[in-house]
Amino acid sequence: MTSETTPKSLRTIPREKAFYFFTSIGNYTGLSASSLKDFLEKINQVNIKSLEFHLNRGDFEKWLNEVLEDKKLAEQLGRLQRSNLSGDILRSQLYEIVSRHYKELTTRAAFSM
Amino acid sequence: MKLKNNTIALDATDYKILEALREDARQTYTDIGEQLGIAHSTVYDRIKRMEQYGIIKQYTTIVDAEKAGAKKITAIMTIYTEPKESEKVAEKLCKAPEILEVYTSLSEELQIIAKITAENQESLHTFIANSIAPLPGVLRIRTSILTKKFKENAFSIVSDPKKITFIKETRNIERRETV
Is B140 an 8 Å CB contact of chain A? yes
d(CA B80, CA A30): 9
- Say whether the ipTM exceeds 0.95: no
Residues of chain B with pLDDT > 90, as a percent, come to 59
Q: Residue A100 corresponds to which amino acid?
A: R
**Average pLDDT taken over every residue of chain A:** 91
Band the pLDDT of A4: cuts 50, 70, 90: very low
Same-domain pairing of B51 and B114: no
The answer to whether A98 faces chain B, any CB pair under 8 Å, is: no
Quick check: B13 pLDDT over 90? yes
Residue A82 belongs to a domain: yes
With b for 16 or more beta-carbon neighbours within 10 A and e for fewer, the B106-119 pattern comes to eeeebbbebebbbe
- Measured in angstroms, the CA of A20 and the nearest CA of chain B are apart by 7
Domain range enclosing A60 = 20-111
Band the pLDDT of A17: cuts 50, 70, 90: very high
Q: B79 is in which domain, residue-wise?
A: 73-145
Inside any domain, residue A6: no
pLDDT digit string, tens, across residues B69-116: 777 899 999 999 998 899 999 999 999 999 999 999 877 777 999 999
Which chain A residues contact residue B75 at CB under 8 A? 26
How far, in Å, CA of A81 to CA of A94, rounded?
10
